[in-house]
Structure 1
């Protein structure tokens, strides 16, 4: 039965083909790209630190000796280049666009690296934005990459759906914050991953606490953590917490996010990703 077929193929006597298997929507990567694992970083709402977590995860993997890359799929709110101190414009050759490379070796592709000015707004409709994200996969010469992290825009709209359907996503990391309302919105992102058969690898709670630099007591500015109960409810094995830390904000603003030591915060999560999706031969 073909896609154009409108009748009962079992009784028509014609060979209409087999529609028992769903058609794959995966886009073919650029011939110059050899990406081993693709990890999406998602959130149900904005303002929870998704781009921060993406940058820290990529930097952590780079420090471990892996070749990391970030595909900035947040087209209307790109912040990845600024966090890594990358401002030059990307160029292309006969094979496609060449991604930028941060000082620590992380490869980056973002719409801000294509715009005349990084403050120029991207006023595009959904299908064009989704198409641009797909082009970042098909038309960028990523080269050899062990772990690619995809910084998605918040919510469950066109772009996250395009990423889930068009890229070979091995799993996602969900970013949240302690507020109970955010926990409810996290469930939307987790359920969307379930609808697309995408494993949830970890849950990161940003702004979980503030540690006093003098007495080292931890203060829960935004209330008690819900990360354990959320993880248990959805069967998520790996969790991590990030504090409210002025050093993180300063490093982001100064383009030095790769210099932040995240061992105390993200080691368990990156180790889980390594074990679940090993790139070692």
Structure 2
């Protein structure tokens, strides 16, 4: 937090108090505070001094972050929450669910939305690496955890909480549930327009726990065109409905390969997977589940994930990036609003 600011002519001094002396955000804070002051006047001489909070200051900051609450609660589950929560699900692994998640999040953030990304794929967490923050660690304020900021988003992953990056997570039901609740309630997400939750593949403990703790979350199902993948994806959508979550659409990843020479589409993994899933779920649920988009195979999509620069940022002109951006715009356009919400207002007295 900011302790004090001094101004003497063209010299500006800012003193920042860190939560702990070994805070991993030292360099980031120094850089961003300096940049923020220079945006006011580029000719200023800026000095950033870093100190450490006292125990009482850390406790006070935690009280502020919790909004004065002492008990644990999930802010997105509250009746008055305006944050749209999208759970990105798939029936099986290897369909590109995490790649889709990070690109959707980045595209939403680029359009001005306040976006959070929760990597709930406990066993196969890959979101941090795909965003170039594989070695990042969140800052802790007493019992509160600050998500890692990157590319205008807030990101949290169980991979950030492991002592070692190569450590295996071997958890079962109750521990998985506690980990999910901790990342939803003990992380200071702040005021978000959208939270994207990257779920593990299948219909296991984490997906069930999310349905129990966030029944208001809406589900996006990711599949490939292959019939075998599509039939499994239908189960993921059906399970979401069983948890009283609404499925808002289906994304077909690896839909086709566009030949560079001719522009012809080569359907490597077959065709019709997303349409099959959408039709089945629409019939089963009694409401329309649309196909949100078909993302083509593109080597740059894979390279972007490996390099920590998703394709919507690295190559926005590509067909894959445009499709993902269109889907993000469509989902982001369904963002929060006050229509139909009881605000609990009452007149203070007669005029």
TM over 0.5: yes
Number of the residue aligned with 1:237 = 290
Q: Once structures 1 and 2 are overlaid, which stretch shifts more, 161-170 or 33-42?
A: 33-42
Number of the residue aligned with 1:149 = 196
1:138 is matched with which residue: 182, 185, 200?
185
Q: Cα distance, 1:169 vs. partner?
A: 3.5
Q: Cα distance, 1:166 vs. partner?
A: 0.7
Q: Cα distance, 1:267 vs. partner?
A: 4.2
2:145 is matched with which residue: 76, 94, 97?
97
Is 1:274 the counterpart of 2:332? The answer is: yes
Q: Cα distance, 1:275 vs. partner?
A: 4.0
Number of the residue aligned with 2:349 = none
Structure-2 separation of matches of 1:170 and 1:130: 16
Structure-2 separation of matches of 1:47 and 1:263: 19
Q: Look up the SS of the partner of 1:144 in the other structure.
A: coil
Would the alpha carbon gap of residues 124 and 109 (structure 1) be closer, same or farther in structure 2, given more than 3 Å must change? same
Q: What pairs with 1:81-92 in structure 2 (closer than 5 Å)?
A: 81-86=128-133, 87-92=135-140
Unaligned runs of 5+ in 1: 1-26
Structure-1 separation of matches of 2:322 and 2:338: 24
Is 1:57 the counterpart of 2:97? The answer is: no
Structure-1 separation of matches of 2:120 and 2:292: 23
The answer (yes or no) to whether the contact 2:238–2:281 under 8 Å persists in 1 is: no
Q: Once structures 1 and 2 are overlaid, which stretch shifts more, 130-139 or 209-218?
A: 209-218
The CA RMSD over aligned residues, in Å, is 2.2
Number of the residue aligned with 2:84 = 37
Number of the residue aligned with 1:212 = 259
Q: Cα distance, 1:211 vs. partner?
A: 1.0
Number of the residue aligned with 1:28 = 73
Structure-2 separation of matches of 1:205 and 1:182: 10
Number of the residue aligned with 1:14 = none
Q: Please, what TM-score do these two structures have when normalized by structure 2?
A: 0.67
Structure-1 separation of matches of 2:167 and 2:123: 10
Would the alpha carbon gap of residues 42 and 184 (structure 1) be closer, same or farther in structure 2, given more than 3 Å must change? same
The answer (yes or no) to whether the contact 1:39–1:169 under 8 Å persists in 2 is: no
Number of the residue aligned with 2:309 = 256
Q: Please, what TM-score do these two structures have when normalized by structure 1?
A: 0.83
Would the alpha carbon gap of residues 211 and 90 (structure 1) be closer, same or farther in structure 2, given more than 3 Å must change? same
Number of the residue aligned with 2:125 = 78
Deviation >3 Å, runs of 4+: 274-281
Question: Which structure has more RCO (C-alpha within 8 Å, separation ≥ 6)?
Answer: 1
Number of the residue aligned with 1:187 = 234
